[in-house]
Amino acid sequence: MKADIRKQAAELGFDDCRFTTAQPPESAPDLERWLAQGRQGEMAYMQRNAHKRVNPQRVLAGAQSTITLAVSYRAEHEREPGIHEPAISSWHLSAFPPTPTLSPRRGSHAGMPSLSGVVARYARFEDYHEVIGARLKQLVEFLNHLGGPATRSLWYIDTGPLLERDLAQRAGLGFIGKHTNLISRKLGNWIFLAEILTTLELEPDTPETNRCGSCMRCITACPTAAITGPFQLDARRCISYLTIELKGPIPVEFRAAMGNRIYGCDDCLAVCPWNRFAQEGRLMSAHARRDLAMPDLLGLLALDEAGFKKRFAGTPMLRAKRKGLLRNVCVALGNIKDPSALAALERAANDSEPLIAEHACWAIEQINS
């Protein structure tokens, strides 16, 4: 039965498929400590659903097995940084204090427009929830047919109250790295995770063991020291949290470290040596949005609400909303410090949305200073 499920998963475009039980993850106490320390920031849903996250039975009563799946979003056209090279978004603005003799224009990567922003790689596609969700639905239908009329199954793609990385590690899909993300030995760091809880009893696969060794590259690479120690993340300092999950002003202490990142951050993922084994994703490659890789910041700053929705419809970036994304754009322009952005920033300083106006004023101050 497992062989049939794996074959169907592969035909649907999944790059890996592993199995484990539906028993509570062994890391449940770690989640409780993390929440008690407030490291989730404004992500209240983490606390609200904690009782389900630590016990899959509360998500699907009678669940016997968890099927964990991976979809690679590695793109062959993107150059992988070498072990000793900075990640694509880590131009000189990330190495603070900035080198006085290096201008933002000369400090940018070859071919990168001087007023462009960087978007995390996972968001440079059509919304993965929709793309992968459609395949998960088909896989669940196949699974339920295979198991018979009494079989019940639920699927999730980054949406359910599950400790998906812990379940994936127990299933042998990969291991949780020191940056707290899952690393696959055959797919590297560039993977989406999905899960199916089912009442069908399936033999569990062998768990994966940690293979980070003495490597500390991800911890060293973090621009805001959000990885406070091996396997320890303070989300409140993470650029992905600051640019996506945080709804209010970005703390001034972190703005400079954001550089030109406007949606997420890949630095801890990009420096991982396991990426040398990464393969291009078969499923996601057809849904790439290359226009989102390094978009023009001034063009983004000119978007009204309708323009924002049209530009980012069907992409993960819609999650940030106009006010969140333009807030991030203002910070990026303030870090680049190009005077040619002043006129656009002055218009943004009069935006009806206070969050955008405040960050535009900050950016103007950075340029004028």
Q: Which residues are catalytic?
A: 158
| Separation CA 217–CA 205 (nearest Å) | 30
| Separation CA 193–CA 173 (nearest Å) | 9
In 51-92, the DSSP E strands lie at 65-72
Report in angstroms the alpha-carbon separations of 267 from 54, 56, 311, 356.
29, 32, 26, 26
Burial class for 218, CB neighbours closer than 10 Å (0-12, 13-18, 19+): buried
| Separation CA 226–CA 235 (nearest Å) | 7
- Candidates 180, 283, 163; CA nearest to 240 is 180
- C-beta separation of 218 from 189 below 8 A: no
Tokens of 104: 């933002």
